[in-house]
Structures are given as structure tokens and as C-alpha cells.
Amino acid sequence: MKELVIISGKGGTGKTSLVAAFASLAEKKVLCDADVDAADLHLIMNPDLKHRNDFQGGSKAIINKQLCTACGLCRDLCKWNAISHDFSVNSLDCEGCGVCVYFCPEKAIDFPVQICGQWFISNTRFGPMVHARLGIAEENSGRLVTLVRQQAKGLAEKNGAELIITDGPPGVGCPVIASIGGASAVLIVTEPTVSGDHDMERVAQLAGHFKVPAMVCINKFDLNPEQGIKIEQFSRDMGLTVLGRIPFDPVVTKAMVQGLTIFEYDKKSQSAQAIENIWGQVVAGI
């Protein structure tokens, strides 16, 4: 079984639209949305929720005012300035390190585990999908990403699926690292802009750092062909596989507005043809 993770560095380059398009083309697969912070794949997949589960993240400190003697030790120890002068914990600032809980001489600090989000197993018209919703302003996105990927893997094994297609988050930090570790390959979708170039270089370095083979495709290529060619050249120099170019095409947005994949909306469009070609190479490459 293989796992392909779609990442980009820069946000808004078309990761989710591409994953949805691949869902139309791939056979015997499981879909996984690892962008738990701003998940969008469900807007196209229209999932039928089968299992809904709480995600337990870290713990947070709560001071019991009845037991607290206001000795101030917790305030001295807290590295996040999360404890106010009147000894209440600001949960947005609490890192969940538990140092105050451990050292409180009155044992006045509780440390309950937090429900930080939910994760789901669903059916879609393209097969099963694992997805999640991290709570607003929550931490531990990396752990939730790891969890949904494990669930997708378990589901794929159970169903005899050959491929997991994972929609990754933007950036290069914690959730991205959790998304790509141990994947068969990543596909970096970028755009021919100075930002797209800058950000794909960093995420390509990240894939290299974790020794995950990387492929590259450039969306909205004709917006700036010169920049696009520069990115392709850079990619080849770094030893990445360049898969192709997707033209700038308003049909992509129109399909999204209808909640459809590009192949459902207009499979004869230029962008659909380009994506079909890229998909053929992904299958061959992975």
C-alpha cells in the first residue's frame, strides 16, 4: 500500500482541488484530509459520516481557588505567563507542561485532559475518507494529523485499498512534518509566483530532510511562464520529479462552487486534461 501526500508550502495553490480531482481518477483508495486546521476536502466530497470520535489533546492546568494559598510558586515557574495575579490560568496561554501542577505545595492545581477536536470516518462517492476538525485556537495539530493518517492506513488495510491520497496542510511546521513522515511520496503543487517559488523550495528541503521522495507540478502555469520554468529547473536540480503544468483555468473555481471535482464538472477542460496527464505520471512514479 502506498501513501501520496499533497503539500505546497504556500497556501491556496490548489492542493485540495487536486486531491479531489485525483479522487475522481484513482481506483481502490482511501482519502485522508490532514489539513486539520482548515480542512476543506469535505466541501467537495460531501461525506456521509459513519464514525465520529473525540480527539484528546494535551492537558491544561486549572487552579482550585479553595485550596490555593496564593504562594506564587506556580507563577514563578510558569514559562508562558499563563497564570494571572489572582491565580487563574489563561487556557489560551497554558502550554500544558504540568510544571505548576507538579510543584504546587497544596496540590491545588487540576490537570484535566482536553478534547481538542474531532475526527471522522466517512463514506463518499469516491470511497472512504478519514478527516478531522481541530478545535479553534487549539494545539497538538501534529498529533491529530498523525491520528488521521494512522486511521486512514488501518482503513486501507482493512479494505484492501492500494493507495491513500492525503491532502496536506500549508507551511513547513508541525502539522506538515506530521503529514509527510513515512509517506511513499509527496506531490508539491506550487504556482509560478515569487512566493510559490520561495515556499516550494522550503517544503522541498523539508521532504529531503525527512527523506520522502518529492514530485512537483505547477498550477496556473501561464500566469508567469518564466517563473514557472525557473521553478521546474530548480526542482530538477534538486533531484525532484517534475510532472507537469496545469493552466490557469476559471473552470477550477466553478467546479469548487458546485461542490464537484474538475472531472465531474468539465472533464474536457484544459486543466482536467493536464491533471489526468499528471495523475498518469504519479501512478507510474509511486
Choices 153-161, 174-182, 235-243, 262-270 (CB under 8 A): range interacting with another protein: 174-182
Alpha carbons 167 and 41: distance in angstroms, whole number: 8
Shorter beta-carbon distance to another protein: residue 117 or 127: 117
Using rule CB under 8 A, residue 9 touches another protein:
yes
Q: Dig out the grid coordinates for 169 from the structure.
A: 496542510
Alpha carbons 255 and 264: distance in angstroms, whole number: 8
CA distances from 138 to 106, 118, 143, 233 (A): 29, 12, 12, 39
CB of 203 to another protein, least distance (A): 8
Among 68, 177, 251, 283, binds another protein (CB under 8 A): 177
Q: Tell me the DSSP string of 162-227.
A: SEEEEEPPSSSSHHHHHHHTT-SEEEEEE-SSHHHHHHHHHHHHHHHHTT--EEEEETTGGG-HHH
Alpha carbons 43 and 70: distance in angstroms, whole number: 50
For residue 252, which phi and psi values (nearest 5 degrees)? -60, -45
215 in Cβ contact with 240 (< 8 Å): yes
Q: Nearest Cα to 44, choosing from 282, 262, 269?
A: 262
Size of the site for another protein (CB under 8 A): 58
Alpha carbons 98 and 82: distance in angstroms, whole number: 12
Alpha carbons 79 and 280: distance in angstroms, whole number: 52
Considering only residues 183 to 202 of the shown chain, the ones binding another protein according to CB under 8 A are 191-195, 198-199, 202
Among 56, 98, 162, 286, binds another protein (CB under 8 A): 98
Using rule CB under 8 A, residue 257 touches another protein:
yes
Query: Could you tell me which residues are beta bridge partners of residue 83?
Result: 89
3-state SS of 58-126 is EECCEECCCCCCCCCHHHHHCCCCCECCCCCECCCCCCCCCHHHHHCCCCCEECCEEEEEEEEEEEECC
Using rule CB under 8 A, residue 270 touches another protein:
no
Shorter beta-carbon distance to another protein: residue 163 or 186: 186
Shorter beta-carbon distance to another protein: residue 27 or 79: 79
Shorter beta-carbon distance to another protein: residue 3 or 191: 191
Considering only residues 204 to 233 of the shown chain, the ones binding another protein according to CB under 8 A are 205-206, 209-210, 223-224, 227
Residue found by looking up cell 491520528 in the block: 147
Among 49, 67, 92, 115, binds another protein (CB under 8 A): 92
CB of 158 to another protein, least distance (A): 29
Considering only residues 58 to 87 of the shown chain, the ones binding another protein according to CB under 8 A are 58-59, 77, 79
Shorter beta-carbon distance to another protein: residue 163 or 203: 203
Choices 123-131, 132-140, 238-246, 276-284 (CB under 8 A): range interacting with another protein: 132-140
Using rule CB under 8 A, residue 128 touches another protein:
no
**Contact set with another protein (CB under 8 A):** 8-13, 16, 37-38, 40, 43, 58-59, 77, 79, 92, 95-99, 102-103, 134, 136-139, 141-142, 169-174, 176-177, 191-195, 198-199, 202, 205-206, 209-210, 223-224, 227, 250, 253, 256-257, 259
